[in-house]
């Protein structure tokens, strides 16, 4: 016959084996759910069921690290404290890497709980859990605490992998977006050199990143007239590129049917407003030249002043309006008009060319004008090369924005 002690020991062993089997089953269910890419709320619900129903944990606070701060992703039992309060309290226990009793801690928040469960990866704290109203037998305490830490750790790793996977998808999506934006912008950029009996054109475009917000265009309207535009849209990326694509299409459409630049700019403003609802704006310089009358008409809509160099004198073309895309109706539009002498050089640029003036007191608009006076007799292409070389050698430093340079010689 078996004595009572032998029967008790056998029953205890069977109970432990059943408990271990239940723990393994619980871990298996969680692992299978993770492998099926189960949603985060479901994983958290599974954790709560394991803690409540199987381990009789009456109170839980589960915080996980996100972008340098902590968020409370699971909670039940008792009055819920603010996340900041819980994080501050848990931070006092950062030296502990294993489940730690805290019911006698000096901190009044921590005293409300029985154990602190930390989850670390190397030296980085990924998550903290506080459990309360938890009273296992002394023989099973260490086993239960280790099991709780294991289950939480498995879920934290799964959530971290989900986050990293999502970040990778976003990164790949962003990369593809940038590639599309570059493709769109490359389609927008017209020929960078043009020459006929009336005009010679040369352009340089240097995006600050893969995709910029600058735009320029040169359009031969008919045998006696041509039009050009240089512009800068706020923002970057595919949305900016698409806005510029729409802007270009609108400009080319209206420039064919409208003679008046004022009407064209007003309609361009409405196009930008309708497309962006005031969330983006565009600065631009738009000009049209008539070879018969030798008159240049222009509108500067909040853009860097174009410089006209003729007979050793340089003037800036500033007359115009505000940037477009800000007001439903432009508060004013003033059109400028200039008589053009043969050999006139016209230099258009975006603000990236002048970014260095923030750090270099010797590079301001007046310095650019002096450079144009000194080298404005060059061909447009040679002038552009000289100016960019001057920027690289003398001014130095990388600009903080895109650089577009559009130079024209009118014969």
**pLDDT of 341:** 96
Most confident of 96-105, 158-167, 168-177, 178-187: 96-105
Q: How far apart are CA 260 and CA 408, in angstroms?
A: 22
Confidence of residue 331 (pLDDT cuts 50, 70, 90): very high
Which are the contacts of 140, defined by CB distance < 8 A and separation ≥ 6? 19
The CA angle 291-292-295, to the nearest 5 degrees, is 65
CATH 3.30.450.40 domain position(s) in the chain: 4-167
Which are the contacts of 221, defined by CB distance < 8 A and separation ≥ 6? 227, 255, 256, 288
CATH 3.60.40.10 domain position(s) in the chain: 189-410
Residue 289: Cβ-neighbour burial (10 angstroms; 0-12, 13-18, 19+) = buried
The whole-model pTM stands at 0.60
Residue 128: Cβ-neighbour burial (10 angstroms; 0-12, 13-18, 19+) = buried
Residue 405 near residue 364 (C-beta atoms within 8 A): no
Q: How far apart are CA 373 and CA 312, in angstroms?
A: 6
Confidence of residue 192 (pLDDT cuts 50, 70, 90): confident
**pLDDT of 10:** 65
**Residue 221 Cα distances to 49, 255, 288, 410, angstroms:** 74, 8, 9, 16
Residue 197 near residue 224 (C-beta atoms within 8 A): no
Question: In this prediction, what percent of the chain has a pLDDT beyond 90?
Answer: 46
Token pair for 222: 């008919």
Residue 152 near residue 117 (C-beta atoms within 8 A): yes
Helix/strand/coil for 376 = coil
User: pLDDT digit string (tens) for 359-409?
Assistant: 667 788 999 999 999 999 999 999 999 998 888 777 665 555 678 899 999
CATH topology of domain 4-167: Beta-Lactamase (3.30.450)
**Any idea which residue has 């603000």 for tokens?**
351
**pLDDT of 356:** 62
CATH topology of domain 189-410: Phosphatase 2c; domain 1 (3.60.40)
**Any idea which residue has 């599974």 for tokens?**
46
What backbone phi and psi angles, to 5 degrees, belong to 303?
A: -100, 165
User: pLDDT digit string (tens) for 47-97?
Assistant: 898 898 888 899 999 999 887 788 899 999 989 999 889 988 888 888 888
């Amino acid at each position: 016959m078996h004595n009572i002690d032998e029967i008790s020991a056998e029953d205890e062993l069977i109970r432990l084996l059943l408990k271990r089997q239940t723990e393994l089953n619980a871990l298996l269910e969680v692992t299978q759910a993770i492998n099926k890419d189960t949603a985060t709320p479901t994983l958290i619900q599974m954790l709560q069921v394991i803690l409540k129903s199987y381990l009789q944990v009456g109170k839980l606070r589960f915080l996980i690290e996100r972008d340098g701060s902590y968020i409370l992703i699971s909670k039940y039992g008792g009055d819920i404290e603010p996340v900041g309060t819980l994080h501050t309290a848990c931070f006092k226990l950062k030296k502990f890497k294993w489940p730690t009793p805290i019911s006698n801690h000096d901190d009044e928040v921590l005293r409300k709980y029985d154990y602190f469960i930390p989850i670390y990866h190397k030296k980085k704290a990924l998550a903290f859990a506080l459990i309360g109203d938890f009273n296992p037998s002394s023989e099973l305490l260490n086993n239960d605490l280790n099991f709780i830490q294991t289950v939480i750790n498995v879920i934290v790793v799964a959530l971290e992998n989900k986050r990293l996977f999502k970040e990778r998808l976003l990164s790949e999506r962003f990369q593809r977006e940038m590639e599309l934006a570059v493709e769109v912008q490359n389609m927008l950029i017209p020929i960078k050199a043009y020459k006929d009996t009336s005009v010679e054109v040369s352009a340089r475009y240097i995006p600050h990143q893969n995709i910029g917000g600058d735009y320029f265009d040169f359009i031969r309207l008919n045998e006696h007239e041509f039009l050009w535009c240089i512009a800068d849209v706020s923002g970057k990326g595919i949305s900016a590129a698409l806005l510029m694509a729409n802007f270009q299409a609108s400009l080319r459409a209206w420039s064919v049917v409208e003679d008046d630049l004022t009407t064209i700019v007003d309609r361009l403003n409405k196009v930008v407003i309708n497309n962006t609802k005031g969330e983006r704006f565009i600065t631009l310089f738009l000009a049209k030249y008539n070879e018969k009358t030798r008159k240049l008409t222009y509108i500067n809509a909040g853009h860097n002043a174009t410089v006209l160099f003729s007979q050793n004198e340089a003037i800036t073309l500033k007359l115009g309006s505000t940037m477009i895309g800000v007001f439903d109706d432009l508060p004013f539009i003033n059109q400028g008009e200039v008589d053009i002498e043969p050999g006139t050089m016209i230099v258009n640029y975006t603000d990236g060319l002048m970014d260095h003036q923030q750090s270099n007191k010797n590079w301001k608009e007046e310095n650019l004008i002096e450079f144009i006076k000194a080298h404005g007799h060059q061909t447009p292409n040679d002038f552009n090369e000289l100016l960019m070389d001057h920027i690289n050698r003398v001014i130095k430093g990388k600009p903080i924005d895109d650089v577009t340079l559009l130079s024209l010689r009118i014969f």
